[in-house]
A and B are shown apart, each in its own frame.
Chain A
Amino acid sequence: MAEPFSPIKRFLARSNDDLVKIIGMAVLVALVSSAAVSVTAVMLRPYQEANQAAERQARMDKMLDTLPGMRDLMMETGVDTLETRLVNLDDGSFADSAEAAGFDLEAALQDPEASIALPADEDIAGIKRRANQSPVYLLQKDGDLKLIVLPVYGAGYQSTLRAALAIEADLVTIAALAIVEQGDTPGFGARIEEPEWLALWPGKKIADETGSIRIELVRGGASTPYEVDGISGATRTSTGITNILHFWLGDKGFGPFLARLRQEGL
């Protein structure tokens, strides 16, 4: 019998009980599979990101549509979307408006200069790092602030929840909450996307007179202006939203920014 000439043929000719063949096949299958998966993921990423960006824009538009009179106001002021500004979270000041267009949250989180690590006791939203800047979206008319939209995010039950919190000009009353992205359990946590539940938010207050953040999700029977009914069967998603709001409205989030707005305006 002729000796198989190439190493591949020799390898394939080995018995299937042979240890070299077993390990070799395992490695080979793993390599080929991971290559196929990686190549597809990398090649398709631009399409997927475009889809997600379109989705975020659509949700922002949808949220604006749910606010009564907001479209009319925008027509009056002659804008078709909100103004994007970049905020320095530490002191609450606005950054150069030129920077806002090029702001990339993912890149900022990777950069030790542009983000800080959060100690565990302050990281109630479960995000580990926080960028030093964040975009906010404003609607103003004749120099008066009409609406401010804060992007917030953090850990839900099994996915990162991203939401947009729209606050009215008094900086206390919630105008709307929009869920921008979530991947929690369909039928339970994922119900935070339902219009019926989101309709509970307008008119709630984020803080009381003393300025401490009071907004929270409660189990059934919300009775004060600071309470919103949580979702039954989705305790961790509900707690997640409470924590996310407390973090982002607190000192490490937009707290300094909102305090500055209250004192000196835009």
Chain B
Amino acid sequence: MSLRQHLTAPLIGNNPITLQILGICSALAVTTTLSTALTMSVALTVVLCLSGGVISLMRHHIPPSIRLIIQITIVASIVIVIDQFMQAFMFEMSKKLSIFVGLIVTNCLVLGRAEAFAMRNPVLPSVLDGLGNGLGYSLVLLIVGALREFLGTGSLMGVPLVTTVAEGGWFQPLGLMQLAPSAFFILGVLVWLVRVMRPEQVERPEFRLQAPEDGRS
């Protein structure tokens, strides 16, 4: 795999959310508006790059018996540092994201990339892999966030694009879009679209119905 592929493969072909189905929890929680989705995307991408780089740098000296503990410690420290920076310099945003920045630690995506990639690859590919997966995650988050904010409130990034009925216009906001289930619907449609375009992503069924042997059910 070339260096550029590390970056581009996770965007659509090997997208962490639509193919690997990782990081769903935060994808539901922070996508009510585009601005929170954007901030969360940046935070997660930074965490992925840094943790990938650090873990790859010390991969030869991480004892296999305690590797998960070491990985999670490193990831947690990076996340706390970023959370502290946000509370100091992006106070309003950190209040909106509340606990979800801290919960990046438990995002399967971060530990997943550390364990599956950074432990076995040199620093540069690991950072690029982190960046690629972060961007793939961001892409999905931004699509979901944009759809939910626009359909739910009629604005984007807090800027009203269409006048809502409440303000004398024609647009009736879809309240459902501001609730968590709508993120599932949008994610489901996204996964479906990607798999229609790329049928190789469709999983083989684990079990098939067997034909009744003697006519009885």
Contacts and interface: CB of A to CB of B under 8 A. Distances in A.
Contacts of A37: 77, 80-81, 84
Given A36-B77, A37-B80, A16 B64 contact: yes
Interface residues of A, number: 23
A100 to B, nearest CB: 27
B84 A29 contact: no
Contacts of B65: 17, 22
Given A25-B70, A26-B69, A40 B64 contact: no
Interface string A44-64: 100110010001000000000
Nearest to B87: A48
Nearest to B97: A186
A29 B57 CA distance: 13
Nearest to B179: A187
Nearest to B75: A33
A222 interface: no
Given A21-B63, A22-B63, A25-B63, A44 B70 contact: no
Contacts of A47: 88-89
A17 B61 CA distance: 10
Contacts of B91: 48, 51, 55
B84 A40 contact: yes
Given A30-B73, A51-B91, A183-B98, A25 B61 contact: yes
Interface in A225-261: none
Interface string B72-108: 0110110011001101110100000011000000000
Given A26-B70, A33-B76, A33-B77, A44 B87 contact: yes
Interface string B187-208: 0000000000000000000000
Interface string B47-72: 00000000000001111111001100
A183 B87 CA distance: 14
Nearest to B71: A29
Nearest to A186: B98
Contacts of A12: 61
- Residue from the set A17, A29, A37 with the largest chain B CB neighbour count within 10 Å: A29
Given A16-B64, A34-B77, 16 more contacts: A12-B61, A16-B61, A17-B63, A17-B64, A22-B65, A25-B62, A25-B63, A25-B70, A26-B69, A26-B70, A37-B80, A41-B80, A44-B85, A48-B91, A55-B91, A183-B98
Interface of B: 60-66, 69-70, 73-74, 76-77, 80-81, 84-85, 87-89, 91, 98-99
19 contacts: A12-B61, A22-B66, A25-B62, A25-B63, A25-B66, A25-B70, A26-B66, A29-B74, A33-B73, A33-B76, A33-B77, A34-B77, A36-B77, A40-B84, A47-B88, A47-B89, A48-B87, A55-B91, A186-B99
